[in-house]
Structure formats: C-alpha cells, structure tokens
Structure 1
Amino acid sequence: MEQDPKSYATPLLESPLSGTTSKLQTLGNIIVSIVGTGVLGLPFAFRIAGWLAGSLGVSIVGMTTYYCMLLLVLCREKLAADGSSVEAKTYGDLGYKSFGSIGRYLSEFLILVAQSGGSVAYLVFIGQNLQSIFLNHGLAFTSYIFLLVPVEIGLSWIGSLSALAPFSIFADICNVLAMGIVAKEDIQQALRGEFSFEQRTAITSNLGGLPFAGGMAVFCFEGFGMTLALENSMQDRAKFPRLLAQTFGGITLVYILFGFFGYMAYGDETRDIVTLNLPRNWSSRVVQIGLCLGLVFTFPIMVHPINEIVEGKLKRLKWFYRPCHWDNNDSTTRLGKTWIYMSRAIVVVVLAILASCVPAFGVFASFVGSTVCALISFVLPATFHLKLFGSSLHLWQKALDFIVLFCGLFFAVYGTYNTIVGV
C-alpha cells in the first residue's frame, strides 16, 4: 500500500495545540520534559569522575545540548522559509528532508531505541527501589519488575495521554523531594564533621570514568525529542531561545549542585541511585514509594512513542491493514484494536525482559546516554544543520557543527566501550 512520504511521519514531537502556551507554561513543560530519574544518578557519576570533572562535564553537556536544540529549531524554520511540502514536526521529517527515506528510518530507529532505553531505565529504577524498600520480603529485583507488567500493560491501553500527564508532574515533585532530602543529609553530615572536603576526589585518575560520567550527564538531559513541540506550542516563538537558555542554565546549575552535594555526603559509598543511600526511615521510604508510583504512571508516556512507531509500521502492511480497517475510512475494526492491544502488551513484556537483564541503573543509564542519546542529542542536529544550510553557513558555524558532530561520535564510541568493559 503506497503512501505519501509525509504520512510516514510519526508524531513524536507534535504538540496538540500550536501557539497557545504561555511563557510560564512553556517553562514548566521544558522542566518536566528534561528533568527525570537520571538526576538521581548524578552523585554516582561525580563519584566516578570526581567533583570537579563531574561539574565541568555537566556544564559542557548542558551547553552543547542547548546549542543542538536551537539547531533543530533553525532547521525547521529553514524548511518553512523554503516552502517545504513536508512540515517538520518530527525528527523523521528533518531526516527525510536531509537524507531522504534513509534519514527518516535512521532517525526513527534511534528514537525508538532511545525511548526503549529510557523505558527500561524506568523499570530498573522502580525495581531497585522496591527491592530496597521491601528488603525483608526476600523477592528478587526481577520479581518486582515482572509484578509491574500487568499494571503497565493495562496503563498502555489507555488512549489518552492527558489522563496520565499529572502523574509525570507528580514524579518530578518526588524528584525534587528526593533531592531535598539528600541535601539535608549532606548538611547534617557536614555539621557532624563526618567527612572532609579533601577526602573527595576532584578529578579521577581513571580516565575511563570520564566518559562514563559523561554518558550519565547526557542521559540526565532527557526529553530532547520534545524540542520542536515545545517551540511550536509557545505563543511567542521569538522568545523561545532565551527562555530555553534561562531554563537550561537553571537546570544545569541544579544538576551540578545536586551531584556535588550528593557525592560529598556519601563519598565512595555513593550508590548508582542516590536514594538507596538514604537512611531507612519513614521519610525516605515515602519519597522512594512516591518516586516509584510516579514512574509507574509515567512509564506509558515513555512507551507511547514506541507504540506509535510500531503501530505506524503495522498500518503500512497490507496483511494487517486490510482486515483491521474499514474500507470506507481509516477506522479501526475490533480485530484491529485487538492487534493493537496485543502489540502494546508485547512491547511492555519485551521491555520488562530487557530490564531484568540490566546489571545496575547507573551502568545502563550511562550506556544509553553514551550511545543513542549522544547520537540524537549531538550528531543528528549538527548533521541536519550542515546538510540543510550548506554553503550559507559561516566558516565558524561549520567548524562548530563539525566539532559537535565528531565529538559526539567519538563520545558515543569511546563511552560505549568503557561502559561495556566496566569502569
């Protein structure tokens, strides 16, 4: 069944209401999109890299991510100015206009892998925290993951993401509470004199720890794929770059302070999820349970782009489309809905199986950040910018794009190697 190339776009970055969001609402959306569970792994990254190297790494990653987000906006504006027939709402659209069908498929594949990696990280995070909370019940880490499967399958069948959106905000509130409790523990230990500043490593002597920590930092700036949707939803788009810069500056500073204080508090005992270092009291358990509940209900939001891609591919298969859709319109038949429910259940089960094989949250988060997140966040935006603007770019712009491009590739390869062989 032949379709127009425009119909191949998966609405990963679409905004339901274009140009209706205020500055304050956009600020909130940026924070919710970027800040996630990765922040709770930053103290561990600072332990691996050292507090000075970790701070510099987070700063560089934050500035580079901001620059590459602006490149995506510039590429979309370039296509609109040229009167392109394909409206750039997705990574796939930019990939298609830059490199044809191969560019679209490669972009969507990387997004599929990145979303899968983020979803697996959610399950690992929940499993490790539940195992810590119910330590005396004797259940293995994998048992908690598979106990979640029926719940997540049921939530994945909910058609409206807006019904789940409040839980995403709830999860971020729990993140803030967890960060606050860690900071409180750090201050209490400092007042008791239980550590000295000189006992903490500034820059690690193990160079392999630097790309590992860098991968964790890249993973922390999740939500990169929402760039175009966030910009498109804002009432005054001209103010988006400045608002994005201010928000990124604030988030980067918070990340640095949290990673620094978390490492200072626990030193070499810092766990890959810093909430596991918290004392076993009621306040810590409430925060951990709140984090787990929030992620349980936001997991379907992470999986949603995966389902969109899978179902989009299924609809282009003749053997699936003909018996599952009415001939007169594109309405899905009962058989079609059954297939969709089955595909979503299979996606959840596959992700749970992958999560059960992950050794630790920190290692996996760094691996995802070093590979697909680095490619999506740095390599693809720089490549699209170079391709679409071509000779119109100044020499310094080309040089900067090539630096980002090659550093992103090198970081992806070297960081992946170090994550696999172990730090």
Structure 2
Amino acid sequence: MATTGGSSSTAPLLDGSPPTSHRRIVGGATWAQTLGNIVVSIVGTGVLGLPYAFRMAGWLAGTLGVAVAGASTFFCMLLLIQCRDRLEEHEDEEISDQVHIQSYGDLGAKVFGTTGRYLTELLVLTSQAGSAVAYLVFIGQNLSSLFIKTNQSLASPTIFIFCLLLPLEIILSFIRSLSSIAPFSAFADTCNVLAMAIVIKEEIQMFNQFSWERSAFNGTWGLPFAGGVAVFCFDGFSMTLPLEASMADRRKFRWVLLVAFMAITTVYISFGIFGYLAYGDETKDIITLNLPNNWSAIAVKVGLCIALAFTFPIILHPIYEIIEMKLASSGWSQKFCCNAHGERLGLHGARMLVLLIITTVASCIPGFGAFISLVGSTVSAALAFVLPATFHLLLMGSKLKLWQRAVDYLILLVGIAFAGYGTYDALSHHIMGS
C-alpha cells in the first residue's frame, strides 16, 4: 500500500549502520511485477486530494503542475540510479568485493558520510511521519462525514482519532510481524481503486452539469499549493533503488518506470480535472467528502478507513525500527532494560509514545489538502529534487556535460525555491489562515 501520498508504506528500513560489504543480490522480479510494485509504491490516498488542488490552481495550471511534478520526479529517479551505478563501477575498479548501495541512506553516506546518512534518513522518516499523520486526518474526516448530519457532537474528526484510532493502533503496535498485517495492504489498494471508480461514476452521472467554464488559472497563490499536493502524490522516492535492484533484468527498469509514470500522470490529471469540473468551488479537500451518503459511497469510505487503519503500522514500521535500534544501542536503555521483560516494556512504551505524538499532531491539522501540500513542498521536494540533483553533481563530477550540469543546478535551485515558497504558502494561506 502506498503512503497517503505515494511513498511506499512498505519502504525498507533505512537503518543507521554503515553499509556492509557484499555482492549485489540479483533480483528476480519480472517487468510486470516491477510495474505493479512501482504503482503500489506511488499511488495512495493522496490522489483523492487532487481535485481540490485543481480547484485551488485552476484546471490548466493543475494539469501542468501534475505533469511537471511527474516528469521531474521520473528524471530525478533516473539521477539516483546513475549515481548508484557510478559508485558501484568505481568500487569495482578499486576492490574485488563491491559495496552494494541498498538504500537512499547508503547513497547519502557515500556523498556526505555519516552526516549525509542521517540527513537523508531523517527526511525519509519525516516523510513517513507526515504520511502517517495524513492517514489519521483522512480517516478522521471520512468517519466524521458519516455522522455529521445525525449527531454533530460525534462528528469531530478529533474524537475518532483519539477515541477510536489511537486505542486500535496501540493494540496493533504489539504485533511484531508485518506479514500478519500485509494482506490489508492489498485490501487498502482495492478500496483506493473502488473509491476512484465510484467518484468517477458519480462524476460521469453529473456530466451534463459539468461547467466547462471552470477557471483554467486561479492566480499565483494556487500554484504552489497544487504543486505541493502533486509532489506528495508522486512520493515514493525512497523505493527507487530497491525497486530497480529487485528486477531480474535491471536494464529494463527505466522503460518500466517511464510506462508507470506516464500511466500514473494520465490518471492523476484526468481524476483532478473531472473532479473539479463536477464540483467546482464546492470541491472538498478529500473528494470522497463530496459523495452523497448512499450505500456505495458509505461502503467505500468505511472500507478505506478500515484498510488504512490496519495498514497504518506498516507506515510506522521504519520509524519504530530506527527508534528501537537507537534504544538498544544506548547505555541508559541497556541499564533500564536489564532483562527480556524490561526490554519489551521499553520497546512497546516507545511505540506508544510515537503513536501519541502522531495522533496529537493529526488532531491539530485543520485540513487534509493543506497538510499534504505542506509535506509535499518540504520533505517530499527535498527528497525528490534537492538531494538527487546534489548527489548527481557531486558523484558524477567531470563525467557530466555542460548541459547536464545546467539541468542539475536548475533542478536544485528550483527545488529549493519551490520548497521555500510552497512552505510559506501552505502555512500562511491555508494552515494558519484556516
């Protein structure tokens, strides 16, 4: 199951230890399996916020924003692969047993040492935490919409987040094996597809009511907002190297990635345009909130909420493991957890503290769309544009032609500017102004 945006909720653990020397493990995935894995890693519930982004930017500006975000993310993923290939070629020239670059963190360590590893993994974990908060906001708002007409006192998303989701997630946090939760990931993806299908069905039924005079461009303030949502929807950057390494024939990965991005971008643009044309200025930040409370819409909302609630521990798994690894290596923790029972108590206590912090943050978020735009404009933009361009410039060195250097610097500068302006816009005009 993808993150709410897109980053994979099944992203492998990026631990803090230095990479070990070993030969590359040859993957066995076919091109079709890899294509499916790419789609699952990128497409998530963030897509249900795209029509609102199109409302904010206008249908033409939103279309261009999604297309540019998709093309830029695809290009920067290729930059990461080039960096990894260059490093492994260099290792082959110097030692017989090459160092396999397994993760984004490994690449950061090769460029900037331990600081680079910590910075890269901090951004990945912050992105995971942002996706976890978005999950809770999404679930809380959808459950709230089911009761808002019958009982206003029970309709607050905060009530569902603290009274229903927090106890459930605390119970699920005791499950150590992700394999027992993994089937819910497929169920969640199915619910995502069904949600999109039902939204499209409702929109087709409203076809005669479409206003083809919807604004194509809603002013400059809407552009960074829509850009942040689009970048969030293409999130899944930390899976680039593992996905490429998983293929039996790695030479085909670029073409598989291109096909996946073309298909995903087309779906995103179509979904955003039709949602905005159907509901116009009434488009909610989660498009399922525009659906009538009939049996099909209620079934999809409940199904989405159940599936996401049970896949939520997968989102938090990398965070749990990083924290537990640090606790296990700290001196005071070893003194406190002097036996197996104390160790289990310490680990479960740490997990519950993480859950409490994330649910508290989620209860303070005024809107799903504003939040995912903020995450997209900050950590997602740094992971997708700033770091890949920086790594490519530093690692490829003299191998780069002038135009390649120019493109890298352009991506780097635009990425930094977008992150700064998008953060200001999301905070000042959408979050603080809510």
Q: TM-score, normalised by structure 2?
A: 0.89
Gaps of 5+ in 1: 1-5, 12-16, 326-331
Q: Report whether the alignment pairs 1:352 with 2:359.
A: yes
Q: C-alpha distance in 2, partners of 1:229/1:298? A: 21
Structure 1 residue 28: deviation in Å? 1.4
Q: Which amino acid aligns with 1:161?
A: L
Structure 1 residue 157: deviation in Å? 2.5
Give the aligned partner of residue 280 of structure 1: 293
Structure 1 residue 300: deviation in Å? 0.9
| 1:219-230 equivalence runs, <5 A | 219-230=232-243
Q: Report whether the alignment pairs 1:422 with 2:429.
A: yes
Q: C-alpha deviations, 1:268-301, integer Å up to 9, x for none?
A: 0000000000011000000111111111111111
Give the aligned partner of residue 210 of structure 2: 195
Give the aligned partner of residue 172 of structure 2: 155
Q: C-alpha distance in 2, partners of 1:284/1:271? A: 15
Q: C-alpha distance in 2, partners of 1:302/1:394? A: 40
Structure 1 residue 9: deviation in Å? 3.6
Name which of 43, 51, 61 aligns with 2:51.
Answer: 43
Q: Once superposed, which parts of structure 1, at least 4 consecutive aligned residues long, lie more than 4 Å away?
A: 322-325
**CA separation of 1:262 and 1:19: change in aligned 2, threshold 3 A:** same
| 1:227-266 equivalence runs, <5 A | 227-266=240-279
Give the aligned partner of residue 77 of structure 2: 69
Q: C-alpha distance in 1, partners of 2:109/2:335? A: 27
Q: C-alpha distance in 1, partners of 2:178/2:235? A: 19
Q: C-alpha distance in 1, partners of 2:236/2:112? A: 24
Larger mean CA deviation between 35-44 and 171-180 belongs to 171-180
Give the aligned partner of residue 366 of structure 1: 373
Q: C-alpha distance in 1, partners of 2:390/2:337? A: 39
Q: C-alpha deviations, 1:349-393, integer Å up to 9, x for none?
A: 110000000001000010000011100111111111111111111
Q: Which amino acid aligns with 2:211?
A: S
Q: C-alpha distance in 2, partners of 1:235/1:47? A: 43
Structure 1 residue 76: deviation in Å? 1.6
Q: C-alpha distance in 2, partners of 1:215/1:74? A: 26
Give the aligned partner of residue 102 of structure 1: 115
Q: Does the aligned pair in 2 maintain the 1:379–1:404 contact within 8 Å?
A: yes
Number of residue pairs matched by the alignment: 404
Name which of 392, 395, 402 aligns with 1:385.
Answer: 392
Q: Report whether the alignment pairs 1:397 with 2:404.
A: yes
Structure 1 residue 251: deviation in Å? 0.5
SS at match of 1:82: helix
Name which of 49, 53, 56 aligns with 2:61.
Answer: 53
Q: C-alpha distance in 2, partners of 1:356/1:338? A: 27
Q: Does the aligned pair in 2 maintain the 1:29–1:230 contact within 8 Å?
A: yes
SS at match of 1:8: coil
C-alpha RMSD over aligned residues: 2.0
Q: C-alpha distance in 2, partners of 1:396/1:118? A: 36
Q: Does the aligned pair in 1 maintain the 2:184–2:310 contact within 8 Å?
A: yes
**CA separation of 1:128 and 1:7: change in aligned 2, threshold 3 A:** closer
Q: C-alpha distance in 2, partners of 1:291/1:18? A: 36
Q: C-alpha distance in 2, partners of 1:321/1:368? A: 35
Q: Does the aligned pair in 2 maintain the 1:9–1:92 contact within 8 Å?
A: no
Give the aligned partner of residue 9 of structure 2: none
**CA separation of 1:407 and 1:167: change in aligned 2, threshold 3 A:** same
Q: C-alpha distance in 2, partners of 1:69/1:362? A: 25
Q: C-alpha distance in 2, partners of 1:194/1:380? A: 45
Q: TM-score, normalised by structure 1?
A: 0.91
Q: Which amino acid aligns with 1:141?
A: P
Q: C-alpha deviations, 1:131-155, integer Å up to 9, x for none?
A: 0012224322101001211211222
Q: Does the aligned pair in 2 maintain the 1:32–1:169 contact within 8 Å?
A: no
